[in-house]
Chain A
């Protein structure tokens, strides 16, 4: 779906899953260690794993990233004779989608799937029936999914710096006299 803020890319600990500047979310073979956290995190269940291979890869659409680099449009959009798949700027596509729905309101579901889902995606759908009937998840959050673990991650440096200081202070506070560096009391006896 090439989310604007992809859960899979923020889940990836090796940056194998990467949101490129042009929009596509791509998978890089040389980085991935195969933990499948991207699959767990993706609200759309897009990344697929090659369970049958000893040298498995993650499979997903890369929005013909290499073709975009050359200035061409993705192969699916170029090949489709009915222009059912369109390629362009996201903002323009949303406007075109709205116009399409307005032009034929009885035949289109009044929703662009991907405009708001998961904080917005680069791949968006129009449909003639409710999206739930087509197997789309219609109960997704409209915030970007990385937001869900952001609070936790922000707490990490706080704990990492304050916790040791606190523990050290506590450890000093509980020190008994006999644990102090001087083991001998003035009269020369062990305490």
Chain B
């Protein structure tokens, strides 16, 4: 008898908990803040147009919306969305390496926002790959069944994208558990972080370089100034400073947009963090520049320099590698944050130029009919970026990304010490017990 009522209590408890959870989710779905803002109107227009264009693309075929051709099978949906987007998302593996492997605690405050950014970049930019696939309903083929094309670099990239998304989700998942108030699950997920980080860095090393390795077999199609057997290494090294530059630029934007969520301590540390990141950017960019020069001299490519493609090569290497690295160096010396931002933006432009050069501009540079993206390809790309920003904003406004995690999640003494500078009213007792 007693046993039965016990069970009944459990059930009613479970149901009421589920109801409470449902109400919580519903209330979180609602927008926080004004709905009609200039950005929201712009975003709605872009997304609506992109949706119409995608219907056309999937019913009429790729020719209806893109300027792809038999000569240029890959356009900006691959060259920009995937290949450049993934380089920009490299910040996540670099920052997690610095914080969880090297334990540079200084960078801890930017881990969550960077991992979230990286995760969403993969979901959206690699997800945009589905628009480009001719037969997207077969996309599961390399994952299941007996169709393992293990000799393909693309096979490696596809698997790594998928596994890395899972790893990044695990790295990020404690924030979701904190948002939902799942204490036990939070503890469990927190325990997975180091494993996910190690796995994630390994996968990133391989697929950042793998995106470059995709072009290895196109030797006779890519201009000699951009083709070398070192493309994978160049792609990997450049993803380090591409990712960090993105973290710098994105950080300076989110510091303005999400100003109120950021803790005082983080505001104070911000300058130190940015200068530190800029220093690492400068270091890796010098390595990258050195590699570029080495490849250039090793390939005996002097005779290409005084041609239009050679001038363009110089624009990329001098204008968007050497100049920004010089600016970074100078800005770090004088702790000049705005100069660091300028250098970071220049670096990002340089990455776009480099990735588009390898995948589109220097690709079949000899072709009579060049590929120029259609406005529809650009519109859909813009739609993907806008959608990512909207989701990012939704998450940041709800989960403890820039904000401090809830008190119950700060179990480790060092974390408490770090954030416990100010004891709020009514918390003195709790603070004292924790410190015991």
Contacts and interface: CB of A to CB of B under 8 A. Distances in A.
B229 interface: yes
B338 interface: no
Contacts of A11: 152-154, 217
Nearest to A12: B149
Nearest to A44: B220
Given A14-B147, A45-B71, A152-B153, A32 B138 contact: yes
A123 interface: no
B68 A141 contact: no
Contacts of B201: 163, 167
Interface in B45-67: 58-64, 66
Given A34-B135, A175-B103, A149 B202 contact: no
A152 B209 contact: yes
Contact of A174 (B102, B139, B217, B414): B102
B134 A34 contact: yes
B394 to A, nearest CB: 31
A127 B341 CA distance: 60
Interface in B84-133: 97, 100-103, 132-133
Q: Among B59, B61, B66, find the residue whose CB has the most chain A CB atoms closer than 10 A.
A: B61
A145 B216 CA distance: 9
Given A49-B73, A190-B435, A148 B216 contact: yes
A79 interface: no
A66 to B, nearest CB: 21
Given A10-B151, A13-B142, A174-B102, A56 B61 contact: yes
Contact of B100 (A51, A159, A171): A171
Contact of A141 (B136, B138, B219, B414): B219
Interface in A144-191: 145-146, 148-149, 151-153, 156, 159-160, 163-164, 167-168, 170-171, 174-176, 178-179, 183, 190-191
A72 interface: no
A40 B220 contact: no
Interface in B308-366: none
A35 B133 contact: yes
Contact of B142 (A14, A53, A178): A14
A174 B98 CA distance: 11
Contacts of B412: 183
A7 interface: yes
Q: Among A54, A164, A174, find the residue whose CB has the most chain B CB atoms closer than 10 A.
A: A54
A86 interface: no
Given A148-B219, A174-B101, A39 B206 contact: no
Contacts of A156: 156, 206
Interface in B158-217: 158, 194, 197-199, 201-202, 205-206, 209-210, 213-217
Contacts of A146: 151, 217
Given A13-B158, A164-B198, A178 B136 contact: no
Looking at chain B, what size class is its interface with the partner chain?
A: 35 or more
A191 B70 CA distance: 66
Given A41-B218, A171-B100, A175-B103, A153 B229 contact: no
Contacts, number: 171
B149 A14 contact: yes
Interface string B210-236: 100111111111000000010010000
B103 A163 contact: no
A52 interface: yes
B413 A36 contact: no
A33 B135 contact: yes
B69 interface: yes
A39 B70 contact: yes
A52 B61 contact: yes
A121 B372 CA distance: 33
B222 to A, nearest CB: 10
A157 B141 CA distance: 22
Nearest to B148: A15
B135 A37 contact: no
B217 A176 contact: no
B152 A12 contact: yes
B8 to A, nearest CB: 41
A49 B138 contact: no
Contact of A31 (B147, B205, B216): B147
Contacts of A12: 149, 152, 154
A159 B206 contact: yes
Contact of B70 (A48, A141, A149): A48
Contacts of B286: none
29 contacts: A7-B217, A10-B217, A13-B152, A30-B138, A33-B134, A33-B136, A33-B138, A33-B141, A36-B74, A37-B214, A39-B73, A40-B214, A40-B215, A51-B62, A51-B68, A54-B59, A55-B135, A141-B220, A149-B153, A152-B209, A153-B153, A153-B156, A160-B206, A163-B202, A164-B198, A164-B202, A167-B197, A175-B103, A178-B414
List the 7 closest pairs (A to B, CB-CB), nearest first: A34-B134, A34-B135, A51-B63, A13-B155, A36-B73, A33-B138, A39-B73
Given A10-B217, A175-B103, 4 more contacts: A33-B134, A53-B61, A145-B217, A171-B194
